[in-house]
Structure formats: structure tokens, C-alpha cells
Amino acid sequence: MASVYKRGPTWWVRFQFDGEHVRRSARTTNKRQAEAFLRNLMAEYVERARNNGKTRHLLTEVVERFFAETTIKPGTRRTYTSNSRNWIAACDHLYLDEIDRKVIASFISERKKAGVTDTTIRRDIAFLGTMISMAIGWGWIDTNPVTAMSKKFLRESPPRTRFLTRTEFKRLHAVAHADLKPIITLAVETGMRKEEMLGLTMDSLDLRRREVHLQETKTNSPRRVPLSDKAIETITDLLAKPNRPTSRYLFCKPDGSRMLCNKKGFKAACERAGIVNFRFHDLRHTFASWWVQSGGDLYKLSRVLGHRTLQMTARYGHLRTDDLHEEISRIARQRSQDHQIGRPRHRKSPGVNAGASH
């Protein structure tokens, strides 16, 4: 049975064709336009079946079904939504079987002309590969053109390691809003990701053992994060704050719900502090950089940050050069000693006595 229905202000259509349940956004707030869209779409399905014996699907259909049926993290959803806009703008009129390597190469070329970085383009392509893999699983298409493409011509940008000096952080902390101060302090004291930190609950805190237990992480691997004296002080002050509402969250709104990081407020604080080219995630880089500069071990840092591999942590290795200077000095001293040992001794001439008197 075919029908139109509303999701928010937008009208959607649904019908069943050849055993398949079809749901599409009519992209309109007008019911009559949605009904016309439904009639045209159903006629299109009939025409496709008559010509091919198999229903063809647009990329927009894959994206819409994916978002409707798949549960993903909010951050991933935002990224995928951005990726989908890029592809739909380029391939809105194309069926899945028309998206081949030539189409992808053209997409890459246009994105490069627009000044988009190779790293961003690689993520767009990865998203397309994910969508087509989903379509293969649904029986909508047989092959994935992304898997046959080489991405070697797209250079991965060097990982970002922007961090604050201690003087810069003091300036930022001084001008930050009162609600933002404990957030940025805990960020540079623990190295936690923004979502991990803002999602901290009362039962994740273990102040006696001086650590927090993270169950939901980006890598889906629970981990424990040690707390410094400053981190303990920050958490204690938050819990003792007058008129603090009853909440399961450490960082909460006046009504007790989870607090969200105010991007505009953070950006404004950076501007007031005279700090440029700095994102909230760079506070995590700041923690890691200070750790390494203080002589901290990279392997232990990797565990604290929750990196999947030590290679991800190795980006901070260039920040510590003291041990390299020490090693070079040691090698130089060793070479000097070896040179002294191998140098031939000069013998005194026969009959000459330096201490003889004339």
C-alpha cells in the first residue's frame, strides 16, 4: 500500500514494489507535491523493472536507508552526513551501477579544484565504499568500484599536532567562560577526547584510586585514565559547586542533562586569548605534547590516550630531543675514547734525558 507521511516538517513516501519496501523523502513540505512525487516514483520503478527485469537504485536511496536503519554514534553521523552531501551533489542523478571508476576520478578532480585536501577526499571515498558495500548486502548491486581503485595518488596529510604552550593555556583559561574553565582544564590534564569527557558519569569516577573508567570510547575499548592533582581538584570543585543539580553527569546543564561543548564559546575564548588555528581536540594534543616534553614514556602515553597502535602516538616523539642530545653526546665521547686508544704513542729519542743537567 502506497502512502505519504510526515517526518518533522518534510513529507516522505512509502510503498512496496516486487517484495521491497521503498521509503524516500519527497523533499517538500507540501502534501500535494509529495503525492505527485510518489506517483512519479512508482511509475519509475515500474519502468525500470520493465526495461531491466531488476530494480535500479540511486545513491540517495542507499544513504536514506542507511541513516534510517543503522545506529551510529552522533559524531560519525555528522561526518557521514557531510560526506553524503558531497556525493549526492555530484551523483544525485546516477544509479549505483553508473557510479564507476571514471565517475569517482571525476569527483576527485573536482574536489581538488575546489581546494579540498587529499585527506578529506579519501574520507569521502571511504564513505562511498561503505554505502555501496551496504547496497551489496541488500542485493541492490553486485560490485563495489571503490575497492578496485588505488588511493595512492591521494596523499594522507601529516597528522595534526597543534598544541598550546603553558603560557598560551594560562591566557586561554583566564578569558574562558566559567562553565568552560573546568572543561578545558580537565582536557589538558587527562588527554580525554571531548565526547569521552563530557560523557563522564558519577559511576565512572574513582577519586580514591585517582582515575576515571571510560566504557564508551572512540575505539570501543574501555580504558582507565589517571587523574593528576589538578584534575582531582577540578572534579572536586565541580561536585561541590553551590546549587549543583542532581545529575548522573559530571558536566551537566542546570536541568541535570548532559552538557554540550559550546563551539562558539570556545572559539570566542581563543580569539580573546589571541590564539589562532586551534580546535578543542587540540587540547588533547596539548596534553600529549606536555607529557612528552616532560620526559614521559610514549608507550604509557599511548595507553592513557587509548590509541590503537603505538604508531599513532609516535607523532609526538619529535617533541622530545633531550634524550637524543644525550645519546649523541654519549656516542661522541665513545668515539673520542676509541680514538685515544688507537692513537700510536711517540717514543723518546735514545740518549735524550729531559731531566739531565748540562
* C-beta atoms surrounding 67 within 10 Å: 13
Q: Average of pLDDT values for 138-150?
A: 83
| Interatomic CA distance for residues 225 and 231, integer angstroms | 11
pLDDT band at 203 (very low <50, low <70, confident <90, very high): very high
The top-level CATH class assigned to 166-318 is: mainly alpha
Q: Return the higher-pLDDT residue of 221 and 105.
A: 105
Q: What CATH number labels 56-157? A: 1.10.150.130
pLDDT at 239: 93
pLDDT, averaged across the chain: 83
pLDDT band at 210 (very low <50, low <70, confident <90, very high): very high
The string of pLDDT tens digits covering residues 258-289 is 988 788 999 999 999 999 989 999 999 999 88
Instruction: Pick the closest to residue 106 from 119, 125, 78 (CA basis).
Output: 125
pLDDT band at 150 (very low <50, low <70, confident <90, very high): low
pLDDT band at 297 (very low <50, low <70, confident <90, very high): confident
Q: Does residue 352 carry a pLDDT above 60? A: no
Percent above pLDDT 70 for the chain:
83
pLDDT at 159: 61
Most confidently modeled range among 80-94, 110-124, 146-160, 165-179:
165-179
pLDDT at 54: 66
The string of pLDDT tens digits covering residues 318-334 is 655 555 555 566 667 77
| Interatomic CA distance for residues 270 and 120, integer angstroms | 25
| Interatomic CA distance for residues 285 and 188, integer angstroms | 8
User: Where do the domains of the chain lie?
Assistant: 1-53, 56-157, 166-318
pLDDT at 283: 93
Residue in this structure with the C-alpha cell 561536585, named with its chain if needed: 239
The verdict on pTM exceeding 0.75 is no
| Interatomic CA distance for residues 231 and 95, integer angstroms | 54
pLDDT at 136: 92
Q: Return the higher-pLDDT residue of 229 and 350.
A: 229
The string of pLDDT tens digits covering residues 299-314 is 888 888 888 777 777 7
311's CB contacts (< 8 A; 6+ apart) are none
| Interatomic CA distance for residues 214 and 206, integer angstroms | 11
What's the start-to-end Cα distance of the chain, in Å?
130
Sort 228 into a burial class: Cβ within 10 Å, 0-12 / 13-18 / 19+: middle
